[in-house]
Structures are given as structure tokens and as C-alpha cells.
Amino acid sequence: MSLFGLKFGKKKLKEEERQLQANNRDFNLQFEYANNSIKTSKYNFFTFLPLNLFEQFQRIANAYFLFLLILQLIPQVSSLSWFTTVVPLVLVLAVSGVKDAIDDFNRHKSDKHVNNRPVQVLINGMLKDEKWMNVQVGDIIKLENNNFVTADLLLLSSSEPHSLTYIETAELDGETNLKVKQALTVTAELGEDLQKLTEFNGEIKCEAPNNKLDKFTGTLTLQGEKYALDNEKMLLRGCTIRNTEWCFGLVIYAGPDTKLMQNSGKTTFKRTSIDRLMNVLVLVIFAFLALMCLILAIGNGIWEYDKGYYFQVYLPWAEGVNSASYSGFLMFWSYVIILNTVVPISLYVSVEIIRLGNSFYIDWDRKMYYPVNDTPAQARTTTLNEELGQIKYIFSDKTGTLTQNIMCFNKCSINGKSYGDVYDMSGQRIEINENTEKVDFSYNPLADPKFAFYDHSLVEAVKLSDVPTHRFFRLLSLCHTVMPEEKKEGNLVYQAQSPDEGALVTAARNFGFVFRARTPETITVVEMGETKIYKLLAILDFNNVRKRMSVIVRSPEGDLTLYCKGADTILYELLHSSCDSLKEETTEHLNEFAGEGLRTLVVAYKNLDEDYFQDWIKRHHEASTALEGREDKLSELYEEIEKDLMLLGATAIEDKLQDGVPQTIETLAKANIKIWVLTGDKQETAVNIGYSCNLLNDDMEDVFIIEGSTADDVLNELRNARKKMKPDSFSDSDEINVQFEKSSKKPKIMPDEQANGVYGLVITGHSLAYALEGNLELELVRTACLCKVVICCRVTPLQKAQVVELVKKYKKAVTLAIGDGANDVSMIKTAHIGVGISGQEGMQAVLSSDFSFAQFRYLQRLLLVHGRWSYIRMCKFLKYFFYKNFAFTLVHFWYGFFSGFSAQTVYDEWFITLYNLVYTSLPVLGMSLFDQDVDDRWSIRFPQLYVPGQQNLYFNKMVFVTCMLQGIYSSLILFFIPYGAMYNTMRSDGKAIADYQSFALMAQTCLLIVVSVQIGLDTSYWTVVNQFFIWGSLSVYFAITFTMYSDGMYLIFTASFPFVGTARNTLSQPNVWLAIFLSITLCVLPVVGFRFLKTQLKPTPSDKVLLKIKEDKKRPPPPSPKRRLRRTSTRRSGYAFSHQHGFGALIMSGRNMRPKSPFATTGTFSPNSDKHKHKGL
């Protein structure tokens, strides 16, 4: 790294293929692969000062003030002392520099924490503890249970049978269910033999580093043999090792080359829309300043030529000035210095202080504190607060953000009877809450203590040995691909491929059918205290076409049974005709369950004939070993045996949403915010959650599914959707069509369109890949933005960022991305605002975010309260600041016409220095930190108040022009009223007071009182602090004025305080105070009149809401009852079982089996034992 953090020298060639050797650092070093250290910081000790100053002077205003300082050091043009600029400039640079240093220090700390994690590396035949950052490509490392994966590794061997390794990929794709990776047989033999591992010298050739999480291709060459490598043999950085005592891996990609870091996206410098607008306005003000200086310079040239030339005895020209034109040239620069206060540097100091203060409010907000895991809300950046009040699009992750990723067995239907609801004595259904009595499972020592169920009638049915109920739970305990773990006797832990399958097995466990152990040939279940071992004869595996899975088992009594569970639409076609009446009853229950957003599943069984089964299993073996058409043959056999099933019932599982998610989404929708869900999860799951949290509902005109497998299919589907939503959008006269037909290199912004109803859009990952291509992206963004809700499923982390970037590119809207996992980092970095949820999936999202908190529901408070207040406060601040500085500065302009354009200042130099720093700084800060039009409760109750921020109504170019005109008008009053009042005026004792110093004092006193009254008019929410700041500033002004204009100060500092005695002489005259009162009235009256008439004659939607709030405040409404948002829907998802095709085959092969649990075949913990009989059956 060079001094300025930049690398010079030869450019590194782009890597096209990676080649490496295990245990050979010398060989691998020649390729200069990145080591495992990561760097997210910007500066180091030496580069901080030059780089930070370089960045700060890229801000136009800072460069301008540096230029002014240089001008003030030139005696010929200096009309003000150098300290008037250098003090505020140093202050601004120091404040910004310290803030940047703190931010970068935190990044250094985070990097250091990750880079210094310990890991065991195999070096010279021994395992040595090394830091993560010292790990290199080609090293072999050892990982243990619950370790984070250090780098992208090729799995060599593990403690599990057949070198399987279980990993959790929550940080990568947001899914918390376990995934299985398996090493090559040739490397699995290495085991944990350090000698063999040290001698391992395999050579890897593989693809260059990329961001594709689900793809890896490469070859291993070992002893002349080549072995294919794919993603199933890779452990990626960001994963966590689970249920595996140890494993060894070979480092393929390290540090920045890992797929996690490749997906993390670029860190961009985020600036608010107000920041960008201010840069434009500062340029406009510079042009205006140059125009005023030019007018005054020309005036000076004409005056010096016409009059000044003859007055040189009285007003000599400056040294070196020998012509009127040269005098005018110098006066131009002198006026640049005098009039520079139209853009005062204190503006930027104040903006930073306001943002910092509003950030602290977020940190201190107790209503955004989550006590369960002691997590407060945190503003991790202090530069984006007001942008929170302008959000138009929210991009949200699903798993862990909207949902808790916890599945609960909620209800079920068995033999036509629905279970799960609780009724009171009168037969009325009651709402389940934390006070509802739970079913007591203490009679069952193997029950899961975390499992909660409230309907006691289901337990009674189990205890009464109701045959269908027993058969129902027996099916749930047998028909699955769950793996049990029992390290302590009675302490069962289930490892499920999907969390909903785990929930079903846990439910069966609590109701007395405990899945205890499995081998490739058997399943051990403790049924009502009695241990039974079923022979597992076949698993008819799940796939996306079948949408069901079955098992064939032989009971200890010798009965052959097929148990099946799957989607109702599929299973209903396979039922025996005798089930028709039961099917109708079950369908009613399914509709009821689906209406509550539960994930439903139908279960059925079939008793098999022994002879038929023997014939079938023989054909099944032949099909499973066929070299051609294996899948089709097996599918036919599955169809054959899964016929004439007997319906048992249905299950309903709740994918638990985070608290308050539906209410939050409903509130944000009322604030005209569009929500897009971007998830790596399956389509069915994502859509189901869309219905559960009220994003999607049956009142929508339509929900379009985009799942085309070619670019043309996707284009047609998008166009058909748009044709339905807005048919006239295809006409040649359509505004957007006309705009985009014109070829222009400038990026085009697409105006908002309205659809002819409320629509939703669901698009899958592979379709999205086509839609994000150049020629389709316009169609995608146009169609999607017509919809109220968009759900993108099976998307990669990079696709999430591309979708956000697409909306930023074509829409003039502020975007917010919210997520909780490493797979959300690129999206969080890309959006204007990134919010991290500190949840179950690590801290990667939080570390990359601008704001963080623990629950999705806090988002409404962040936006509707803190965001809206910050936006309103910043807009009020800017309007007032520009107004007061135009009023202050333009008095100099008018004075120029009466002072021979001589660059004489109207005010005392000390007043000019202190005006922005002392006299007017605190009142505007008080308003900008404490003001609120309505309190937080009303802000959330009336989300419509948020809309003006989205439309940027409170501060824009038009508002700025209005402030400018008001400032010009006030400056005219503030100059000419004192001028007229002073002209040829006598004091009461007959002495004249029409002198420059008296006029200056009167003008500055008028100005200060006028701007103080103006801030009083702008303040909506009065506090003690506001009062103290306004009255205190006026008191300080008079105290400083009388002190500086006193005899004592003149005697001590004669040159610095020439206005001796002016204050007591001028401010003691009644006519001076009458003139001040007249100035205030003329400045303020038009403002008051305009605001009153505007509110009465042309009220904005916000004015109407504020009027309604005022009326409501007079008669507070009764508290609204808490209601649970429900939906009515007939759609169901039957996906509550294993989603990884082929996992059944893995179980049947026994490759993932540990040695049998010593507790698996005992019935020691029997609910029917004497010890429990009095509580039990």
C-alpha cells in the first residue's frame, strides 16, 4: 500500500482460472492470490489527514471558503479581517474530520476483530493456532462444531460417516435449516490423520473467484487421477459448522476472493437528496453573488471615473490603483469577501450538529429498544437522517426480517374434526394470547418443553386412544427425513431439512409419538410410552413436480403401510372414493386455516398387500438401478402405488411473523410506501408469507406470477401484466413511450404511473435474471412499479442489489433496504438507506447498515416519526438559514449605492463575525432539534403526513426561490426604513444622530429582532430550550453590543472597537425604537398574511390532516382495540416437508447415519410407566 492508500506499479491481470497445490505455499505464492485478511476501512494513520482534507475540499463550499481566505490575505482587496473566515473553516474541517476518524476507527476495529479470529492450520505436520488473516490459499485447516468457516474451502474429511458435514448457511442465503456437504471418497480416507493430510499434495484447477453462491466447478488431480469438484463439496465463508465434531478443508478462495465478500457489494458514499440539492443551490448562489459583485464593481468604476477621480484629496485611491477600471476590478473581489455570507460556512457546521442530534434521538428512543436481547436502535451514520422522511420504496428480506423463521404446529384437522381453537363456556371462540392456558405435557418426559398448544380436546383424544388420532400422529412421526440427535438421555434434538418439517415431528413427539432414532432400515418411535421399531422399506422422495413424499414401513406387528403427506391439490386426486365426505369437511378446515395465513398440508395412508408390495419393490429396485430414464421410471412406480389413499386429515403450521409485521406493513402502505420483498426462499413460501403479513390479499385485482424460462417468455409475461394494469400504456402518445423513444445518453427518470386497480407481482430468480438484462429492465421496472407489492423469490444477494439499483436508476425516489443476514449486505449498501436487523443471522447486515434495530416493526417509527421529524426540521432550518443570510447580506448591496461602491460594510465587523456564530446560531438549532408539527402518536396514527416528504414539498428549488425573494424584500425594508428614519434626524437634545455608526447599529438591531420574530413564527413546538435560546440570543446581543461600544473597551483596544458610545446614544431614542417596530411589522406582516390565506384558501393534504388532529385533540378518541389482522383466502401451500430433492435417498443409503444412540431402543421414559400413570391415560 502506498502512502495515499493506492497501489501503483504493474496492473494485476484478471484471473481466468485458479490453480493451486495443497500444502505448497511456495507454489501458490507465485500467483499472488489474496490472503484471508479483509479491509473495509478507508484510511490509515499516515493517509488520514491528506485524504480526508482532499475529500472535504471536494465539497464546493469548503473550497470556496479556502479561496475566500486567500483573498482576505491580499491587502489590496481585503475588506474584512482574516479571522472571520479562518475560525469557522477550521471548525467545520475539524468537526467533519473527527466524525470521519471515529467512523473509520470503528471499521478498523471490526476488521481487526474478524481478521484476528483463531483457526487451526496444518503447518509442517502439526496443527498450529493462526489468525484468520494469515491463512493462505492452499492451506489445510481444521474446523470444529459451531465454528465459522474461515475461507472458501474444499471439504477433505470430517468426523461424520462418509465425511458428511452439516452446515448452516443463514449468513449467505438467510435459510437456517441445515444443509449437507460431502467430501470426495478419495479425500475422506485422510480422516484426521495429520501425517496423511500433510502428505496430501492434490492439485486443484477451478474457476476464478466469482459471486455465484450455488455454483462451483473444478477438478482435483491426485496421483495422476482426476476428480470432478462441485458446490456440494465446498464450505463457503460465512457458513457455520453444525453437528459435526471436526472437519478438514483446503483453502480455495481467501479474503476478498471468497463468495461472501464477492457478494458484499461496493461501499458507496451515501449523500441525501437535500445534500445534492444544496450543492446545486450553492452554485446558484455563487452565480448570484458574482452578479451582485459585478454590478457593484461596474458601479464603482463608473463612480470613480465620474466623481471619485475629483475627490482623491478626500478619498485617495489605494496604493497601486491608477485608473477607475482597475479600482472596479479590485472592488469586485472586495465585495466577494463582504457578500460571502450568502453562503456562510456555519451552515455546514449547523447541518452536522442537527444530524448528530437527530441521530441521538434514534439511539435514545425507548420505544425502539428490544428488551428480549437488550438491543437498542442505533443510528450508525449521522448524515442520512432527513432522507428517512422521504422513503418511497422499501426492499425487505423475508427470513429473519419479516419472519422469525420459527415454525409452530398451530392447528390440525383429524377425521373431520378441527383442533387448535379455544372456546369459552358459551361456545364462543376466544383469541389466544400469553394468558391462555397451555396444554400440560408434563406426563410425557420426552416432550419438547418449548412446544405450546392450547386445545385440550386433542390431548384427550390421544389419551382415549382414538384410532384416527393415533394414526395421524404416527404418520407425522414416520413420514419425514428428519435426523434425531440424543447426546443426553431424553434430550432429543431434531435436525430437519426444513423448519416446518421439524415442527410436525415435534408436534407428534409432544402428543406421545416420539421419533427417537433412525438407521437406513429402521425408524424407532416411542408410541405412548412403548418403544416400537418400524422397518423402513422405501422413501418415495419429494420433488417439485410430485409435491408430496411417502414412506413405506412395516410395523412390529407385520402390517405394511404407506404414509403420505403433500399439497392438498395433489393428494386429493389420489384419494379413494370412499373419502369424499371427509374430503369436503377437511376442505372447509383447510380454507379456514389458509384464511389465517397458515401453511397447510394433507396427510393420508394406505394399507398394502404383501404380494403386491414384493412385486413393486422388485420393480423399484430395477428402476433405481437403471442407467437410462431412471427418474421417469421411478416416478411411474410412485404414481402406481400412491393411489386409493385413505384421508387422515390436514396440518396447519404457522410461519411465525415477527411481532407487529402486518400492522407495520399496513401503516407503511397508508404512507404511500411501496414494499418489495426480495428473498432467497422458495416461491410458495414467499407468497404464503406475503399473504400472512397482509402484503398480498384476495381483494387485489390480480397477483401476476412471472416464471418464464426464456427472455421472450419473461417479456411476454411482463407485457401481459402491464396491459391488464394499464392498457393505454402501449399507445404511441403515452408519456413514457415518447420520452424513452428519444435517444439520449442522460439517464431518464420514469414518472409515476397509476394502475387501474391494486395488483401484486411475484417473480422468480431465473426469470429475474432475464428481466435484469439491458433490453428487459425497462419493462420490469415499469410493470413492477405499477404494482402495490412485488415479491422476488430465489434471488441471489447480487440480484437483490441489482433490483434496488434498477429502481434508483429509473425512479426519482428514495429507497430503503432492510435485512438481517450477510446475503442482504449488497442490497443494504446499494439502497439510499440501509437498515440492518440484529437478529439470528449474525451481525454482517448490521455492520454494513446505516441504521439498525432488533424488530421489523420499529421501521414504522424510524420512518414516520424520526424520519419525518428530521426531514421537516432540516427543511425548516434551510429555509430559515437562507432567508436570514439573504436578509443580512443584501443590506450591504443596497448600501453600496449610497457609499460610492467603496466596499464599506454596513455593520460593525464584530457583528458580521458573531451574527452566524453566536447571535442566530442557537435559536435555529433549538428549532431544528426540538420542533415537531405533531407528536409521535399522531404521526403514526396519520401516516398520510409522510407523503409531502416523498414529494419533497418542504424544501426544493421553488421553496428556495421563495426564501430568496423574502430575504431580498426584508433586506430592502431593513436598509431603507433605518436609512429613512436616520436621514437628517435630531436627538431630543438637538444633536444629530445621522451618522454611519448609529445607522449601522440601528440596521443590525432591526435585522436581529426581525429574524428572531421570524424563527418564532416558524416554530411549531415550543420548549423551554427554544424560549431560552431566542430570548438568550437577543440578551447576549445587547450585552455584547453595550460592552463592545463602551468607553472601557475603546480605551483598551482602540483600533478594534471604534463604535464608542454608539449604543447608549442611539438606543435611548424613542424614534429609533419606533423605526425598529415599523421594520419588524413590514417584514413579518406579509409572511403571516400569506400563510393564513394559503391555509384557508388552498390547504395542502397535510394542512387538512393537521386540522383534523387539532379537532381530535379537543376530544381524544377512545383507545382502539387491538385486533389481529386476518385474511380470507382460499390459496394454500402444501410445502411443510423436506424441500431438498434426493435427501430421502441419502437416508436410505445410510451414509449420513451415526452409530445407534444407546437410548434409542429403550422405553425407560414411558408415559405409561407407573410413575406417570395417575397423570396419564
The closest of 986, 848, 616 to 106, measured between CA atoms, is 848
User: Exposed, middle or buried: residue 817 (CB in 10 Å: 0-12, 13-18, 19+)?
Assistant: buried
Distance CA 76, CA 659 (A): 69
Catalytic residue among 152, 397, 850, 908: 397
DSSP states of 1098-1143: S--HHHHHHHHHHHHHHSPPPPPPP--------------S--STTH
- Centroid of chain to Cα 720: 32
User: Exposed, middle or buried: residue 386 (CB in 10 Å: 0-12, 13-18, 19+)?
Assistant: buried
The residues facing 601 across adjacent strands are 651
Tell me which residue has cell 429396485.
621
- By the 8 A CB rule, do 701 and 759 touch? yes
Distance CA 660, CA 944 (A): 20
The closest of 952, 955, 943, 947 to 864, measured between CA atoms, is 943
Could you tell me whether strands 814-819 and 422-423 are parallel, antiparallel, or unpaired per DSSP bridges? unpaired
Angle, helix 921-930 to helix 868-896, in steps of 10 degrees? 160
Distance CA 574, CA 779 (A): 42
**Residues written for the chain:** 1177
Could you tell me whether strands 548-554 and 560-566 are parallel, antiparallel, or unpaired per DSSP bridges? antiparallel
- By the 8 A CB rule, do 869 and 896 touch? no
Rg (CA), the chain: 38
Distance CA 165, CA 197 (A): 18
Helix (H, G, I), strand (E, B) or coil at 575: strand
Strand spans (E) along 174-316? 178-182, 203-207, 218-222, 225-229, 234-235, 240-242, 246-253
**Contact residues for 108 (Cβ-Cβ < 8 A; gap 6+):** 41
What's the one-letter identity of residue 75?
P
- 1095-1100 contact pairs (CB < 8 A, 24+): 1100/948, 1100/953
The residues facing 703 across adjacent strands are 760
Q: How many CB atoms lie within 10 A of CB 971?
A: 23
The residues facing 18 across adjacent strands are 206
Distance CA 15, CA 208 (A): 6
- By the 8 A CB rule, do 680 and 794 touch? yes
Q: Kindly tell me the sign of the dihedral angle through the C-alpha atoms of 1046, 1051, 1052, 1053.
A: positive
Q: CA dist 797 to 104, 110, 185, 711, 1032, Å?
A: 25, 22, 32, 21, 54
Q: How many CB atoms lie within 10 A of CB 432?
A: 16
Helix (H, G, I), strand (E, B) or coil at 705: strand
Most distant CA pair in the chain, distance? 132
Distance CA 875, CA 878 (A): 5
Edge-first strand order for the sheet with 218-222 is: 17-21, 203-207, 218-222, 225-229
Is 397 one of the annotated active-site residues of the chain? Answer: yes
Known catalytic residues? 397
